[in-house]
Chains A and B, each alone.
Chain A
């Protein structure tokens, strides 16, 4: 039971990282990035290509791939997303949808639909004794590093000047501008950072999940539900909901297997009924 809960948290780390990236981008730009799942997939493929073509190990990939994809994301923001930003946010939603289709198909044409091999890093091949039970070291690592990552983002957002600006721009864009702060300067790096987070989750996923072009497509819809539950504008809500949904679906698998797949959507419906803005969202941001 404890072990199952722990395993739920490991699954939840991916939701949390993806939801966090989505929330940060949304907060800053008002853009829902439908290509987020595709960037997660590209992260995993990046790790695979780095190893396969350049012989770079997992640790190098974990640093390098998110960086590269983050830069790519920033370029994307400069070239396209920015042009659509003054328009209705739905246009960027549709733009990123098209982008996701293209990215998936390009990867499929190059590598096929079958999963690509990616080994666990040697340092984390064993198991760890957690007192009450033993657990694969790699999964413990995933949980730890995701938690640290989320915590770091949280600290940056709450304790640094950059974070304060970003958060202010997220929550009160007009007011922030009125105070003479150049919000625009931060838009590109934040978009890049959100993409990098998705890529980071992708690299983390490569050793324990199937690396194929469609790995992000279905996941992203669940992440949407996670983000709606947590409250789309809320960074904290997204992370908390991510881990919580991981926990709930692991236990759902165990106790109500028939419902496990739709559990997250039922929760979403319940949250919408009770608090349309999400558990941690602010009501006025939604109207």
Chain B
């Protein structure tokens, strides 16, 4: 009861504030007296580690770097970073997004993992005519049938993950595949892209099986793999998180690597390698959008991040840093935080930064095209320092990494 009353009071205060703050006198170029970056993500659920609270820190780092670069010349002098936890519930994402735009005067919402939540926020962005840069969600629907003028998809998507691994590993000689994928939208999309990429690269899919999701017993599929005709050279899986860890543990139990069945993954997070230990995955290939140990520039940023937060950044955090920075750069170029003007500046923009190499924001569907990387897990003998598990074996050029053509279903 007390909470209701209190929150109600807060809300009334918010209304009053909105009434006052929305009035004239803001100077015209920057609305509501400042630029507000809002991070809406999962701080308590399954994405709390890859995204979560430290992503907010990454965005704050972008704000600091922007200030350092432009100083007095910065168009946005007052910049606030606000955050909300959508608890992985799309309806909370939906209400919170409206609230962030309306009440907190957010000029842009960042991150938003969980596809259903991201798509819900995209609708809010369209209706409110405010910028939304999604980083955390993998669904290609964001640049497909749910695309809109104010929504951008930044970093990675399910196409990038599946296409990268499928075509690159096939080119390296792993031509016959057995695919297992979790039976839900993400897995189904990945499977389709995976198969197409393998075939296009000259390989063949021997068989492709959906697995229950979530699942903790993959024995059925692992037992089946070596007995298929012809025997597959590569086991391609599209699992993530706990399911992936289960699958890899069991893959090792059945000693499939010794039986000549290599493992190739769509998605692999740094934390997954850490939890399984590098030797359980050594040699496994997968596609990634970024890794902290990639080169000197990324290492420098990762060191700064670690000094501040005590941890190595995930690729998702780096991508949010970049998205925030590029948003502020667009405000700088536009000279205003007016959404339409900023969108104009972002569309077709070509750039590089700590996270993005050979980047272009495609004007037709607002998808960020940039280099992706085929990576491999190092054996523990090659691991020199904590969390240094990944080795980039090849850069997948921006033009090949993402969908070559915009989805015709997308009408901005």
Q: Verify B219–A138 contact, CB threshold 8 A.
A: no
Instruction: Say which residue of A119, A205, A210, A257 sits within 8 Å of B183 (CB atoms).
Output: A257
Interface residue range, chain B: 35 or more
B48 at the interface (CB under 8 A from A): yes
List CB contacts (< 8 Å) of A2-29 with chain B: 3-4, 7, 10-11
B220-264 near A? 1/0 per residue, CB < 8 Å: 110110000000000000000111111001100111000000000
For A253, list chain B residues within 8 Å (CB): 211-212, 220-221
Q: Verify A250–B219 contact, CB threshold 8 A.
A: yes
Q: Verify B209–A257 contact, CB threshold 8 A.
A: yes
Given A113-B46, A113-B49, A210-B245, A260 and B212 touching (CB < 8 A)? Answer: yes
For A205, list chain B residues within 8 Å (CB): 216
Instruction: Say which residue of A113, A116, A249 sits within 8 Å of B48 (CB atoms).
Output: A113
Binding site for B on A (CB under 8 A): 3-4, 7, 10-11, 105, 108, 112-117, 119-120, 127, 136, 138-139, 205, 207-212, 214-215, 218-219, 249-250, 253-254, 257-258, 260-261
Which of B114-122, B274-282, B294-302 lies at the interface? Answer: B274-282
Residue on B nearest A12 in the bound complex, by CB: B217
B214 at the interface (CB under 8 A from A): yes
Q: Verify B276–A254 contact, CB threshold 8 A.
A: no
Residue on B nearest A217 in the bound complex, by CB: B214
Report the 6 A-B pairs with minimum CB-CB distance, sorted nearest first. A210-B245, A7-B219, A210-B242, A261-B212, A253-B220, A115-B245
CB distance from B278 to the nearest CB of A (A): 10
CA distance A120 to B241 in the complex (A): 20
Q: Verify B272–A114 contact, CB threshold 8 A.
A: yes
A-B contact pairs, 20 of them (CB 8 A): A4-B223, A7-B219, A7-B220, A112-B271, A114-B269, A114-B272, A115-B245, A115-B276, A120-B253, A136-B254, A139-B219, A208-B246, A208-B253, A210-B275, A212-B242, A215-B242, A250-B219, A253-B220, A260-B212, A261-B213
CB distance from B267 to the nearest CB of A (A): 13
CB distance from A98 to the nearest CB of B (A): 16
Q: Verify A115–B219 contact, CB threshold 8 A.
A: no
Residue on A nearest B224 in the bound complex, by CB: A254
Q: Verify A114–B250 contact, CB threshold 8 A.
A: no
For B216, list chain A residues within 8 Å (CB): 11, 205, 209-210, 215, 219
CA distance A205 to B253 in the complex (A): 13
B144 at the interface (CB under 8 A from A): no
Binding site for A on B (CB under 8 A): 44-49, 183, 209-214, 216-217, 219-221, 223-224, 241-246, 249-250, 253-255, 269, 271-272, 274-277
For A136, list chain B residues within 8 Å (CB): 253-255
For B220, list chain A residues within 8 Å (CB): 4, 7, 250, 253-254
Q: Verify B183–A261 contact, CB threshold 8 A.
A: yes
For B46, list chain A residues within 8 Å (CB): 113, 214
CB distance from A19 to the nearest CB of B (A): 16
Q: Verify A210–B253 contact, CB threshold 8 A.
A: no
Q: Verify B271–A114 contact, CB threshold 8 A.
A: yes
CA distance A251 to B219 in the complex (A): 11
For A250, list chain B residues within 8 Å (CB): 217, 219-220
CA distance A210 to B277 in the complex (A): 12
For B48, list chain A residues within 8 Å (CB): 108, 112-113
Given A207-B249, A214-B242, A257-B211, A127 and B223 touching (CB < 8 A)? Answer: no
How many pairs, one residue from A and one from B, have CB atoms within 8 Å of each other in the complex?
A: 103
Given A113-B45, A113-B46, A215-B216, A258 and B242 touching (CB < 8 A)? Answer: no
CA distance A136 to B250 in the complex (A): 9
12 other contacts beyond A10-B219, A113-B241, with CB at 8 A cut-off? A4-B220, A4-B224, A115-B276, A120-B253, A136-B255, A138-B253, A219-B216, A254-B224, A257-B212, A258-B183, A261-B183, A261-B212
CA distance A181 to B360 in the complex (A): 79
For B209, list chain A residues within 8 Å (CB): 257
Given A7-B220, A108-B48, A215-B242, A208 and B183 touching (CB < 8 A)? Answer: no
For A115, list chain B residues within 8 Å (CB): 241-242, 245, 272, 275-276
CA distance A39 to B212 in the complex (A): 24
Q: Report which residue of A7, A210, A261 has the largest number of chain B beta carbons within 10 angstroms of its beta carbon.
A: A210
For B224, list chain A residues within 8 Å (CB): 4, 254
For B272, list chain A residues within 8 Å (CB): 114-115
CA distance A4 to B223 in the complex (A): 7
For B250, list chain A residues within 8 Å (CB): 208
CA distance A4 to B242 in the complex (A): 23
For A117, list chain B residues within 8 Å (CB): 274-277
CA distance A214 to B241 in the complex (A): 11
Q: Report which residue of A11, A115, A208 has the largest number of chain B beta carbons within 10 angstroms of its beta carbon.
A: A115
CB distance from A9 to the nearest CB of B (A): 10
Q: Verify B249–A209 contact, CB threshold 8 A.
A: yes
For A261, list chain B residues within 8 Å (CB): 183, 212-213
Q: Verify A7–B217 contact, CB threshold 8 A.
A: yes
Instruction: Say which residue of A112, A113, A139, A210 sits within 8 Å of B243 (CB atoms).
Output: A210
CA distance A249 to B44 in the complex (A): 32
CB distance from A265 to the nearest CB of B (A): 12
CA distance A5 to B253 in the complex (A): 17
Q: Verify B217–A11 contact, CB threshold 8 A.
A: yes
Given A108-B48, A114-B49, A209 and B214 touching (CB < 8 A)? Answer: no
Given A4-B223, A112-B49, A210 and B217 touching (CB < 8 A)? Answer: no
Residue on A nearest B218 in the bound complex, by CB: A253
CB distance from A37 to the nearest CB of B (A): 12
Q: Verify B210–A257 contact, CB threshold 8 A.
A: yes
CA distance A108 to B49 in the complex (A): 10
Q: Verify A208–B249 contact, CB threshold 8 A.
A: yes
Given A4-B223, A112-B48, A253-B221, A258 and B277 touching (CB < 8 A)? Answer: no
For A139, list chain B residues within 8 Å (CB): 219, 253
Residue on B nearest A138 in the bound complex, by CB: B253
